[in-house]
């Protein structure tokens, strides 16, 4: 049995991420035969089959998925060791993958990224977007280093994930501009009971928003469900119902240019925490820590990313 090399792990990760030997070879600048040989040697050394090979490419086996997460952790540790040896405290380089909950991404992420890359131009930063379940899965498989997301029940219960809160996003009511309730300064759940609701249904949205009604013993009249934030806003703009949301896009028109109105809920309800999430048992890299600190600086507040 030969020793497993970090190069083999790099080629394995490339093959898993691209899904084909051809694409992996192009990514790591090797021939297809060299990548194929490396993958075969790695499987032999580990004693497991990492991929199912078919005409359309490669598919990870169950042992392959676990090996991918482990390989990413090992490679991340090597990158961190290399960076620590080469860099000063104010100089960072290497790759950083940030996850972001879909509705937060367009509103929050660009300004954080702009400030971060201005401060750390040598960091190769990329990002992924998705629901809380998707991002949690990416964190567990080390598909991203950290994630900016809402606090969901799944996070509260998960011992392997840890959130550091940045701020609380308070819920509000989104209404057609000329809706009768838009004439009020604030809107109650009772006011909304008989109105058709456009429920934002991307987890953890639905669970949280429906809980607000349940707490007031009100059953909402859910007419439409939308997993796209702008779809929910456009349905409201066209008079098809109201919605309860937490994220403010900063404009009072829908994606297709129609005016909409926002009103606070009464009584005031606790907001949904927005924060940085990481794996509990994997120490964040200096790049991840710097990004978390940039989030706090840009979005307001302070953060101790290492605080238990």
Identify the band that residue 88 occupies on the pLDDT scale cut at 50, 70 and 90: low
Does a cis peptide bond (omega within 30 degrees of 0) precede residue 204? yes
CATH architecture under which domain 6-69 falls: Orthogonal Bundle (1.10)
Is the whole-model pTM more than 0.75?
A: no
CA 26 to CA 41: how far, in whole Å?
A: 19
- Rounded Cα distance between 147 and 96, Å, is 11
Report the topology of domain 89-168+273-299: D-Maltodextrin-Binding Protein; domain 2 (3.40.190)
φ and ψ at 30, to 5 degrees?
-130, 170
For the chain, the structural domain boundaries read 6-69, 89-168+273-299, 171-270
CA angle 8, 9, 11 (to 5 degrees): 65
DSSP track, 112-180: HHHHHHHH-TTEEEEEEEE-HHHHHHHHHTTSSSEEEEE--HHHHH-TTEEEEEEEEE--EEEEETT-G
Q: Do 89-168+273-299 and 171-270 come out as alike in CATH topology? A: yes
Confidence of residue 308 (pLDDT cuts 50, 70, 90): very low
* Cα distance between residue 11 and residue 141, in whole Å: 17
pLDDT band at 201 (very low <50, low <70, confident <90, very high): very high
pLDDT digits over 38-81, tens only? 898 888 888 899 999 988 889 899 888 888 888 887 877 776 66
Q: What is the mean pLDDT of the chain?
A: 88
Class of the domain covering 171-270: alpha beta
Residue 80 is predicted with a pLDDT of 65
Confidence of residue 82 (pLDDT cuts 50, 70, 90): low
- Please state the separation of Cα 160 from the chain's center in Å: 16
Residue 216 confidence (pLDDT) above 80: yes
CA 195 centroid distance within chain: 32
């Amino acid at each position: 049995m030969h020793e497993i090399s970090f190069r083999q792990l790099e080629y394995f990760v490339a093959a898993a991420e691209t899904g084909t030997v051809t694409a992996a070879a192009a990514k790591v600048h090797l021939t297809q035969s060299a990548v194929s040989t490396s993958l075969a040697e790695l499987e032999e050394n580990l004693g497991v089959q990492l991929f199912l090979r078919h005409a359309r490419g490669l598919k990870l086996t169950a042992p392959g998925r676990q090996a991918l997460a482990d390989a990413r952790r090992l490679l991340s540790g090597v990158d961190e060791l290399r960076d620590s040896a080469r860099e000063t405290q104010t100089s960072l380089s290497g790759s950083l993958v940030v996850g972001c909950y879909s509705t937060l991404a367009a509103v929050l992420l660009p300004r954080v990224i702009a400030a971060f890359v201005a401060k750390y131009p040598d960091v190769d930063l990329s990002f992924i977007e998705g629901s809380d379940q998707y991002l949690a899965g990416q964190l567990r498989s080390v598909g991203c280093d950290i994630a900016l997301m809402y606090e969901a029940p799944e996070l509260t219960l998960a011992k392997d994930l840890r959130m550091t809160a940045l701020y609380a996003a308070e819920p509000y009511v989104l209404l057609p501009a000329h809706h009768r309730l838009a004439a009020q300064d604030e809107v109650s759940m009772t006011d909304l009971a008989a109105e058709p609701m456009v429920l934002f249904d991307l987890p953890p949205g639905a669970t949280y928003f429906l809980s607000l009604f349940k707490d007031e013993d009100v059953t909402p009249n859910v007419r439409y469900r939308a997993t796209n934030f702008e779809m929910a806003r456009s349905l409201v703009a066209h008079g098809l119902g109201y919605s309860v949301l937490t994220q403010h896009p900063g404009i009072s028109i829908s994606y297709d240019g129609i005016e909409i109105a926002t009103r606070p809920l009464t009584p005031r309800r606790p907001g949904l925490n927005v924060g940085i999430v990481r794996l509990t048992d994997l120490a964040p890299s200096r790049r991840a820590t710097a990004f978390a600190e940039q989030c706090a600086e840009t979005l307001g507040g302070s953060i101790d990313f290492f605080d238990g």
